[in-house]
């Protein structure tokens, strides 16, 4: 697999995982805090439907569908960006993969709320508390990490150790 193919595949897998995991938290927190599991995802669609999206609680293709599509595309963008800048073996160990995914999530959060104009911010911050947003971004980072870890080549053995295959063992 070429580097570009790995980046694209990791972006799609990590993006999907991060979108689904953070989407589950958006629905759970929306149900608890806004009275509807769809409220936080609907709010994302404010990119298209303006302030009406912040008040919409019911499930609909117009608000929920477009909100989740925007969320999924943004998740895929960040997962692909993560894959493009990391070294191929940097996520071979789970702790390193999690650190990289959470770092990407932190950058995404900073960009979302410090560098992005209000009109293009995620929108779910209008329906959820800061602790809930923290959980959403943590889940987002874990999804990116798992995608990176799944597609990383296996870790190299420590130099000086000999790997034996099961066929060569005596017993």
pLDDT the model gives residue 54: 97
CA distance linking residue 33 with residue 150, whole number of Å? 34
pLDDT the model gives residue 146: 96
Residues 6+ apart with CB under 8 A from 122: 43, 44, 71, 74, 112
pLDDT tens sequence across 81-132: 999 999 877 888 889 999 999 999 999 999 999 999 999 999 999 999 999 9
Does residue 163 have a pLDDT over 60?
A: no
Selection from 5, 169, 165 nearest residue 84 by Cα: 5
pLDDT the model gives residue 23: 98
pLDDT the model gives residue 77: 98
Does residue 137 have a pLDDT over 80?
A: yes
pTM of the model: 0.88
Residues 6+ apart with CB under 8 A from 27: 37, 38, 40, 41
pLDDT the model gives residue 13: 97
Selection from 137, 132, 86 nearest residue 109 by Cα: 137
Residue with tokens 């996520």: 91
pLDDT tens sequence across 26-73: 999 999 999 999 999 999 999 999 999 999 999 999 999 999 999 999
Find out whether 80 and 15 touch, Cβ atoms under 8 Å. yes
Does residue 164 have a pLDDT over 80?
A: no
Domain boundaries, the chain: 10-154
């Amino acid at each position: 697999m070429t580097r570009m193919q790995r980046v694209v595949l990791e972006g799609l897998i990590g993006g999907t995982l991060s979108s689904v995991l953070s989407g589950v938290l958006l629905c759970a927190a929306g149900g608890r805090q806004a009275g509807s599991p769809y409220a936080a995802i609907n709010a994302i669609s404010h990119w298209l439907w303006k302030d009406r999206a912040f008040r919409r609680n019911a499930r609909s293709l117009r608000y929920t569908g477009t909100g989740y599509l925007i969320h999924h595309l943004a998740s895929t963008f960040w997962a692909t960006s993560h894959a493009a800048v990391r070294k191929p073996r940097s996520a071979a160990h789970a702790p390193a993969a999690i650190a990289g995914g959470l770092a990407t999530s932190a950058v995404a959060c900073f960009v979302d709320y410090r560098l992005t104009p209000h009109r293009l911010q995620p929108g779910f911050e209008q329906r959820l508390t800061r602790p809930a947003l923290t959980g959403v971004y943590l889940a987002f980072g874990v999804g990116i990490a798992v995608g990176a870890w799944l597609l990383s080549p296996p870790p190299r053995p420590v130099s000086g150790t000999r790997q034996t295959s099961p066929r060569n063992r005596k017993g």
